[in-house]
Structure 1
Amino acid sequence: MAQWPLMLAALVTGALVPLQLVFYGQLGGATRNAFTASLIVFLVGAVVLLVLVAVMRPQLPSFGELVAAPRTVWLGGLIATCYIVAIVIITPRLGVGLTTGLILVGQLCMALALDHFGAFGNPQHTLGLGRAAGLALMIAGVITIKSF
């Protein structure tokens, strides 16, 4: 399979993140509480996923398969919760552009570290000069956004 459709899908998904920041910030303002706003986000997402699973009828894992999964798979929900609560609090104070830039730099730092060490069974990609330069340019971009 060609990679360009996946790259396009990743680009479009990334373009949705600033919208997510705006909407979460608005919800936080309407609820006046980051935790309540985050709970609403998760409830809406759960309802959408319940409908999709009911319509698509994928094969669900057994209880044994879930128990046998690496314990780290359960951290995604915790991370998502922290992410949403932080966005509800941070975006109205820093703005969408700076918040998005900082999130992207944080994601890239972690992604490069995970790649470099081949963490959690992922393929190993050494952090070379080119990748480090890409990260440095991202950091410079965030500093520029903050400065103006």
Structure 2
Amino acid sequence: MAQYALVMLLAGIGIPVLAAMNAALGRTIGSPAAAATVLFVVAFVACLIVAMVTGPHQWARLATAPRHLFIAGLLVGFYVLSITYIAPHFGLGNAVFFVLLGQLISAAAIDHFGLFGAQVSPLGLTRAGGIGLMAVGVWLTQQV
């Protein structure tokens, strides 16, 4: 379990770095949409390499996947485009704060109801209080 926590911590560290770098690329080239496209091309190539190395035969099962699960691609596109456009105007910290707040809310709902096959983890008073405390902590980091 510790290795999962470490990987997710690194992924969390990467999100604001990704946002800052892609926003800077968007400013440099004058097009946040083009910067997002470059990000996705690089990500696509990296993911394709990993997929081909770790299990190329699994592509055949893609045809049987429920179509609504492909909406995840639209969600990641929305995230990258929105953070690339908004961070330079709103501030990276503010943008990431609202992303984190949204993640806390949606993660609690997904876990509570077991959406998309997630393990059910009911939202009790203690858990809700912890999420609220996390939200307040993230908000406090943005107060200047």
Query: TM-score surpassing 0.5?
Result: yes
Quote the residue 1:70 is aligned against.
Answer: 66
Q: Name the % identity.
A: 31
- Residue number among 79, 82, 88 corresponding to 2:75 in the alignment: 79
Quote the residue 2:43 is aligned against.
Answer: 45
Does residue 139 of structure 2 align to residue 136 of structure 1?
Answer: no
**C-alpha distance in 1 between matches for 2:120 and 2:86:** 33
How far apart are residue 16 of structure 1 and its match?
A: 1.1
Contact 1:98–1:142 (Cα < 8 Å) also in 2 = no
How far apart are residue 10 of structure 1 and its match?
A: 0.9
Give the CA RMSD over aligned residues: 1.8
How far apart are residue 69 of structure 1 and its match?
A: 0.6
TM-score normalised by structure 1 residue count: 0.86
How far apart are residue 53 of structure 1 and its match?
A: 4.2
How far apart are residue 114 of structure 1 and its match?
A: 0.5
- Residue number among 117, 120, 126 corresponding to 1:124 in the alignment: 120
Q: Could you say what secondary structure the match of 1:78 adopts? A: helix
Structure 2, unpaired ranges of 5+: none
- Report 1:1-148 matches (<5 A): 3-54=1-52, 56=53, 58-63=55-60, 65-148=61-144
Structure 1, unpaired ranges of 5+: none
Greater relative contact order structure (CA < 8 Å, 6+ sep): 1
TM-score normalised by structure 2 residue count: 0.88
- Deviation track 1:93-147 (CA, whole Å, cap 9, x = no partner) reads 2222222222111111100000111112212111111111122123323432343
Contact 1:102–1:142 (Cα < 8 Å) also in 2 = no
**C-alpha distance in 2 between matches for 1:36 and 1:93:** 18
**C-alpha distance in 1 between matches for 2:51 and 2:135:** 40
**C-alpha distance in 2 between matches for 1:32 and 1:137:** 39
